[in-house]
Amino acid sequence: MKTVLIVEDEMTISRVLKAYLEKNGFSTIQSFSGREALQTFETHHPDLVLLDVMLPDGDGWSVLKNIRNESTCPVIMLTALGDVDHRLKGLTSGADDYIPKPFIGEEVVARVQAVLRRSRTIFESGDTKQYGQLKINFQSHSVSLDGKEISFTPRDLSLLLFLAEHPNQTFTREQLIEKVWGIDYEGSDRAVDLAIKRIRKSLGGWASDQGEIKTLRGLGYQFSVYE
């Protein structure tokens, strides 16, 4: 049974989320502030976090930042702020999905299931490949640079592993959405660009003469490696 941490200060909404998730086989834990959420996260290690942006002691962005500093646990942001800028902020900050309020309980459950499904389908070839100082283990789902392990969100890791599993092949945004986000993803393909940007930043120490994630204008992205 997967455990979902619900971080929502409005009691009614929290209860509704709890009811829908538990009806669909999830275990839930409720937190009503950012501080309480971080303490609960440390104690219970949930499988996924539903995180409201507006909290009584701050905002969800700072909670997300703290979670990302230590974990790749999937996080879905919940907020009444439905404009594009706030959606992009959530994605660039490492959120795995974004659900604007008001929402339908069944949709939240479907999004939770989809995000957890994607986090489980990280590729398992059983191989370890090395490109200069960059080492990728497809079995343990780990990436290290100069011997130091790099942490990614589940979705960013899935994307990196998929590209690395197919070196020097070009994939369009639409193909990457289908392979990594899943055919049920309803968001913008802009999410691919943001994920690539985060991955490149994390791999900033990877020497350009060893390889790179290349943008081919009008075509898509490629994990380019050089012999």
pLDDT digits (tens, 9 = 90+) for 88-109: 665 666 788 888 888 899 999 9
pLDDT per residue over 160-213, tens digit each?
Answer: 999 988 888 999 999 999 888 876 676 777 889 999 999 999 988 676 667 889
**Could you tell me if residue 177 is left (phi over 0), alpha (psi between -120 and 50 degrees) or otherwise beta?**
alpha
Q: How far is CA 140 from CA 122, 127, 163, 165, 211, in A?
A: 10, 9, 17, 14, 22
Contact by Cβ (8 Å): 170, 216:
yes
pLDDT per residue over 107-143, tens digit each?
Answer: 999 999 988 877 665 444 457 888 878 888 887 788 9
Contact by Cβ (8 Å): 145, 203:
yes
Set out the domains of the chain in order of their start, with CATH numbers: 3-120 (3.40.50.2300), 150-225 (1.10.10.10)
Enter the tokens of residue 108: 């939240």
Contact by Cβ (8 Å): 53, 59:
yes
Distance CA 135, CA 94 (A): 22
Residue 5 has pLDDT above 70, yes or no: yes
* 99 SS3 class: strand
pTM: 0.62
* Three-state SS sequence of 173-209: HHHHHHHHHCCCCCCCCHHHHHHHHHHHHHCCCCCCC
Is residue 56 reached through a cis peptide bond, with omega within 30 degrees of 0 on the bond before it?
Answer: no
Which residue bears the tokens 């909404």?
13
Q: What is the mean pLDDT of the chain?
A: 85
